[in-house]
Amino acid sequence: MVRAQEEERRTISRELHDEVGQSLSALLMELGNLAAVAPRNLEPLQRHLESIRKLAESSVNVARNMALLLRPSMLDDFGLVPALEWHAREVSKRTGMGVSVEADSVSDDLPDSYNTCVYRVVQEALHNCARHAAARSVQIRVRQEPERIFLSVQDDGKGFDAQHVRGLGLVGMEERVNHLGGTFQVRSEPGRGTLLAADLPLAANGRPAPQEASAGTA
């Protein structure tokens, strides 16, 4: 189900970018051409053209953001670290939170399932930080060793009672990590921020560990 969901997101993202996005961009160009030849003394017409241009420009941005949220193309084209750094910048611009990424040791050829898992966990964690935690800063760390990948997301927000509060977002993150044979931990207390930590096993050659193969064939 996870693989099917990601493939569907990838397909819809490409359609939004390639079809809807390009059509709206072409509309913007045509509006610019029309505005250039329209009589300048017809002020109502110019106002209407400018209003349509702003609406088309807003639609381009909405389609672009939807495509990126569904499945950022750089995750497939450039790998995990550039995608995480891009997402951190976007969240910082949108929310004002300071988001840092430390992932220097991560290889460029991780299996797609691992790239997707780490990216989605970070995406959901940052969403929670912005929406619920009232955090000012978030630190994302990804470290790869020969047999494991460690991920942590730590914020300085208001925290919560991790023993009794378990929302769907946290459950979804844990399920993704468990699907790859990993472990997922949440450490938080009211007033003391939150730490999310995931430990994903890798085989010695950097390919998926045997747990993933057995999960995929079950």
Q: 3-state class of 185 per DSSP?
A: strand
pLDDT of residue 63: 74
Q: Are 135 and 157 in contact (CB under 8 A)?
A: yes
d(CA 153, CA 194): 8
Q: Are 198 and 151 in contact (CB under 8 A)?
A: yes
pLDDT of residue 205: 46
pLDDT of residue 186: 92
Residues 6 or more apart from 35 whose CB is under 8 A from it?
46, 49, 50, 53
pLDDT of residue 58: 82
Q: Are 179 and 150 in contact (CB under 8 A)?
A: no
pLDDT of residue 139: 96
Residue 194 structure tokens: 């939150």
Count helices and strands in the chain by DSSP H and E runs = 8, 5
d(CA 109, CA 89): 23
Nearest-5° Cα angle at 37, 34 to 43:
85
pLDDT of residue 216: 41
Say if pTM beats, i.e. exceeds, 0.75: no
CATH number, domain 73-217 = 3.30.565.10
Q: Are 202 and 149 in contact (CB under 8 A)?
A: yes
pLDDT of residue 45: 85
Q: Starting at the edge strand that comes first in sequence, how are the strands of the sheet with 194-201 ordered?
A: 98-102, 137-145, 148-155, 194-201, 183-188
pLDDT of residue 187: 92
Residue 25 structure tokens: 């961009």
- Buried-state track 2-29, b at ≥16 Cβ within 10 A, e below 16: beeebeebbeebbebbeebbeebeebbe
Q: What is the pLDDT along the chain (218 residues), one digit of tens a residue?
A: 767 776 777 777 667 766 776 787 788 888 888 888 888 788 888 888 888 888 888 887 777 667 666 777 778 888 899 999 988 998 998 889 999 999 988 988 888 889 989 998 998 899 889 888 889 999 999 999 989 999 999 999 998 887 766 666 788 889 889 989 999 999 988 888 999 999 999 975 455 554 443 334 33
Say what angle helices 112-128 and 168-179 make with each other, to 10 degrees: 160
Residues 6 or more apart from 166 whose CB is under 8 A from it?
none
Q: 3-state class of 193 per DSSP?
A: coil
